[in-house]
């Protein structure tokens, strides 16, 4: 019997309610709509966050120091957003169910967004902490439900995740335009946060009204259908807020926590694989954790978008539009290229040319580095005192987007294939925990690129170029290692493609 057949647990799979749209379950499009509004909320505030924090709460500091502090706040927030996903996945798996976790998480996120309207740093951080607590319940669980729509081995799964990814990026495309470039620029950034919060409320409404389309998928266990579990999880989320607030205000402590959580994650899945007595499952977990490392590096590079690249666009790019519009470049390219990539993988598979998952990750790393190489080259070839032509930054975003499509939707699908069924939600949370570590590292990188010198002076364009060149070499070397090591990782995956 092949390894792939040994892993087949189709008999345990329960189909979603009947009906398809464009060859995929109708439920996929409902989840697409709900995720659209949640991502509208997240990316609307993300486009404003670093610049708003620097201008509002650290304007009394020299510009370079203000940028540095804002970058660390941005990195800490985005790290915590993803780190809490592992706890939210565990709660949904074992206690609350995916549907109610999503509704509760979305409500908390909306409350936190409205708290950002208070022009006080302490309350602003409390609002971020509430958003973090809510996002942990929302983010990993809606992705897990997408995987549950497809029978194990269904060739449509990767394409389904890519379509779902388009929902993410449709919301991300419109959010910076409306929240930052129109409302934020004209009426004040706090009203951009208000608009993002309204988007989250719309996402909750879409999910609640159309929950019947999911059928049994994501419902709580039979003995957890009363209101009591919801209240207990809500109380736990509220109790987490002071702890999250503390970590947001103490970047160094947060770094130690991130490292500790990553080590616990590795230990949990290795021990789980050993206890299962299933050698194949243990090796699949080792492959999954190895790919988490590639995911971590990729997002540390990619997430310069909201911090150092945003400051760079503001200060050193010659563009005929508001600099926050660059925050819509990535989702715009996703909407253009995602359908092509969704068609590309099955077409390559039919010809026996489809790159393995590890090689797709390697291509993503090298492509992300290439984006920084393009930008550093443009900086070094632009005359002193002249701003960089905006198309070069646009090209960087395009290369990063094409790289993202080789990794992110593929990674989400990979987790649902490699994890044991009872631990899919926790494994998805682990995927987001590796992204959390990446975002923390991204904040440190951005602090170097945009933070100026030792005396807090404004960062020079040369400092950006030097940092971007280093990122290129880092991505090239690590990406090359993953490309050459792909056959070994594939053997650990035992037939999962």
Report residue 3's pLDDT band, with 50, 70 and 90 as the boundaries. very low
Ranges 310-324, 347-361, 457-471: which has the least confidence: 457-471
Nearest CA-CA partner of 306 in 54, 106, 32, 113: 54
Distance (Å, rounded) from C-alpha 123 to C-alpha 152?
46
Predicted confidence (pLDDT) at residue 40 exceeds the cutoff of 70: yes
Give the pLDDT of residue 458: 55
Q: Which two tokens stand for residue 64?
A: 């370079």
Backbone angles phi, psi at 346, to 5 degrees: -65, -35
Q: Which two tokens stand for residue 388?
A: 């960089």
Predicted confidence (pLDDT) at residue 209 exceeds the cutoff of 60: yes
How confident is the model over 322-366, as pLDDT tens digits?
898 999 999 899 888 888 887 888 888 888 888 988 999 999 999
Distance (Å, rounded) from C-alpha 312 to C-alpha 322?
13
CA distances from 222 to 98, 164, 226 (A): 13, 29, 9
Give the pLDDT of residue 6: 39
Tokens 């719309």, residue located = 202
Nearest CA-CA partner of 107 in 243, 238, 218, 245: 238
Distance (Å, rounded) from C-alpha 409 to C-alpha 425?
16
Q: How many helices (H) and strands (E) does the chain have?
A: 19, 4
CA distances from 385 to 95, 258, 315, 382, 460 (A): 59, 40, 12, 8, 11
Q: Which two tokens stand for residue 435?
A: 């992204």
DSSP tag of 212:
G
Q: Which two tokens stand for residue 95?
A: 């206690």
> How far is Cα of residue 167 from the mean position of the Cα atoms in its chain?
14
Tokens 């995911």, residue located = 295
DSSP tag of 249:
H
If one compares 77 and 21, the residue with the highest pLDDT of the two is 77
Predicted confidence (pLDDT) at residue 457 exceeds the cutoff of 80: no
What whole-number percentage of the chain has pLDDT above 90? 32
Distance (Å, rounded) from C-alpha 217 to C-alpha 142?
11
User: pTM for the full model?
Assistant: 0.81
Q: Which domains does the chain have, with CATH numbers?
A: 22-493 (1.20.1250.20)
Please compute the mean of the pLDDT values over residues 86-90 and round it to a whole number: 76
The full DSSP string for 325-350 is GGGGHHHHHHHHHHHHHHHHHHHHHH
How confident is the model over 154-192, as pLDDT tens digits?
767 777 777 787 777 888 899 999 999 999 888 888 899
Report residue 297's pLDDT band, with 50, 70 and 90 as the boundaries. very high
């Amino acid at each position: 019997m092949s390894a792939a057949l040994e892993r087949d647990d189709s008999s345990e799979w329960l189909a979603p309610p009947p009906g398809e749209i464009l060859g995929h379950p109708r439920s996929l499009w409902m989840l697409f709509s709900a995720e659209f509004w949640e991502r509208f909320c997240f990316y609307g505030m993300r486009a404003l966050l670093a610049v708003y924090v620097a201008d509002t709460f650290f304007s009394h500091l020299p510009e370079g120091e203000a940028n540095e502090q804002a970058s660390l706040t941005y990195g800490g927030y985005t790290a915590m957003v993803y780190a809490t996903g592992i706890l939210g996945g565990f709660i949904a798996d074992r206690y609350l169910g995916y549907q109610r976790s999503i509704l509760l998480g979305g409500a908390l996120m909306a409350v936190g967004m409205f708290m950002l309207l208070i022009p006080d740093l302490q309350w602003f951080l409390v609002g971020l902490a509430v958003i973090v607590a809510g996002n942990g319940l929302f983010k990993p669980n809606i992705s897990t439900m997408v995987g549950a729509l497809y029978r194990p081995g269904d060739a449509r799964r990767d394409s389904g995740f890519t379509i779902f990814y388009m929902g993410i990026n449709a919301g991300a495309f419109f959010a910076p335009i409306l929240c930052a470039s129109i409302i934020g620029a004209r009426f004040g950034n706090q009203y951009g946060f208000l608009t993002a919060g309204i988007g989250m409320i719309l996402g909750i409404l879409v999910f609640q009204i159309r929950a019947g389309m999911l059928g049994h998928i994501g419902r709580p266990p039979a003995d957890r259908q009363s209101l009591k579990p919801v209240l207990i999880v809500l109380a736990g989320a509220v109790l987490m807020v002071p702890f999250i607030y503390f970590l947001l205000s103490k970047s160094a402590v947060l770094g130690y926590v991130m490292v500790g959580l990553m080590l616990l994650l590795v230990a949990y899945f290795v021990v789980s694989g050993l206890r299962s007595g299933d050698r194949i499952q243990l090796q699949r977990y080792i492959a999954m954790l190895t790919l988490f490392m590639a995911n971590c590096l990729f997002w540390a590079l990619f997430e310069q978008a909201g911090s150092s690249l945003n400051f760079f666009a503001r200060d050193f790019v010659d563009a005929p539009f508001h600099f926050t519009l660059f925050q819509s470049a990535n989702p715009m390219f996703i909407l253009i290229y995602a359908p092509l990539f969704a068609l590309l993988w099955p077409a390559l598979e039919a010809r026996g040319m489809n790159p393995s998952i590890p090689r797709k990750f390697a291509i993503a790393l090298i492509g992300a580095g290439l984006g920084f190489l393009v930008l550093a080259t443009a900086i070094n070839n632009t005359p002193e005192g002249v701003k960089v032509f905006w198309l070069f930054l646009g090209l960087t975003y395009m290369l990063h987007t094409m790289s993202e499509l080789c990794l992110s939707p593929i990674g989400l699908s990979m987790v649902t294939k490699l994890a044991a069924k009872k631990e899919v939600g926790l494994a998805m949370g682990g995927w987001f925990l590796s992204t959390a570590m990446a975002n923390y590292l991204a904040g440190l990188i951005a602090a170097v690129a945009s933070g100026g010198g030792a005396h807090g002076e404004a960062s020079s364009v040369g400092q950006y170029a030097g940092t971007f060149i280093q990122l290129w070499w880092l991505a090239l070397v690590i990406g090359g290692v993953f490309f050459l090591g792909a056959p070994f990782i594939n053997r650990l995956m035992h037939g999962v493609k």
